Structure 1
Amino acid sequence: MEILSSRAILRPADPDAALAFYRDVVGLAIYREFPGGTVFFLGNGLLEVSVHTHEGVTGSGLQLWLQVRDLEASHRELAAAGVTVLREPRREPWGLDEMWVADPDGTRIVFVEIPPEHPIRRDVRGD
C-alpha cells in the first residue's frame, strides 16, 4: 500500500481552547482551514484540530489520517491481513472517500482517497 500523506487528528473536548493553544501558544503555522477545523504544519507532519465528530466517536481522542492512492485496493489488502475494519469505504459528505480501521490497541485510523475533483487537489494559487 502506498501512503501519500498523513496527519494526526485531535478531536478535543474544547476545540476553541485547543485551536488557541496550538496556534497562539505553540505557534504552529496553519496549513489549511475548513469549517470546523484547522490543519497545522507539525514539523514533517500535519496536526488537524477538528470539531467534526463521527458516529461511534465520543469525547476527545487521537486518530491517524492516512491518504492512499487506491482506497479499494487498500481495503482488500487490510481485510486480507485480518485488520479490523470499523467502516467500509464510502464517500463522505465533505467529498473524501474514507474507510475506518482500528489498530491492535483500538486507535482509529482513517484511510482516505481524495477524488480528482475535490478542492484539496485543486491548485488555488490562480484563484
Structure 2
Amino acid sequence: MEILGSRVLLRSPDPARTTAFYRDVLGLAVYREFPGGTVFFLGQGLLEVSGRSDETPTAATRLWLQVRDLEVAAAALADHVVRPARREPWGLDEMWIADPDGLLIVLVEIPAEHPLRRDVRD
C-alpha cells in the first residue's frame, strides 16, 4: 500500500463554531473550502472540519501541534488553556488547550537542548 496523502477529520455538533475556532483563534491557514467543510494547513498535515456529529471527542484523542514559542501561544490562547505550560519528563514544554467541542490540543515547544533539535548521529 502506498499512502499518497492524509488529514485529520473533525466532526462537530456546530461545524461553523469549530471552523471559526481553528481559523480565527488558532489562526490556521485555509487550504481549501467546499460546501460543508473547510480544510486547514496543519504544519506538515491537514485538518478538515466537515460534517456534523453529536458525539464528543474521547479523552484518548489529542491534536499535537508544535509551536515556535509556547509563551506567545499561552498569551494568545489564555482563554482556552486547560493545563498551563510545563516541562514534561521527556523534555518537551507542553501546554494543553481545548477546542469548542472539548478536543484537547497539546501545544509543544521543543527546547534548544532537546535531542529532537540536535543531530545525534555519530
TM-score by length of 2: 0.51
Match of 1:111 in 2: 107
For residue 83 of structure 2, the aligned residue among 72, 75, 87 is: 87
Structure 1: distance between partners of 2:98 and 2:106 = 9
Structure 2: distance between partners of 1:88 and 1:61 = 19
Match of 1:11 in 2: none
Structure 2: distance between partners of 1:115 and 1:60 = 27
Q: Deviations over 1:58-98 (max 9, x none)?
A: x862210111111011000011xx32x11101100100000
Task: Letter of the 2:65 partner, please give it.
Answer: L
Task: Letter of the 2:77 partner, please give it.
Answer: L
**Alignment of structure 1 residues 10-29 onto 2, 5 Å:** none
Match of 2:61 in 1: 62
- Percent of aligned positions with the same letter in both sequences? 65
Structure 1 residue ranges without an equivalent (≥5): 1-6, 9-43, 46-58
Q: Is the radius of gyration larger for structure 1 or structure 2?
A: 2
Q: Deviations over 1:21-53 (max 9, x none)?
A: xxxxxxxxxxxxxxxxxxxxxxx54xxxxxxxx
SS in 2 for 1:87: strand
Structure 2 residue ranges without an equivalent (≥5): 1-6, 9-43, 46-57
Structure 1: distance between partners of 2:112 and 2:71 = 15
* Count of aligned pairs: 70
Correspondence 1:121 to 2:117? yes
TM-score by length of 1: 0.49
The CA RMSD measured in Å over matched residues stands at 2.4
* Runs of 4 or more consecutive aligned structure 1 residues displaced over 3 Å after TM superposition: none
Match of 1:102 in 2: 98
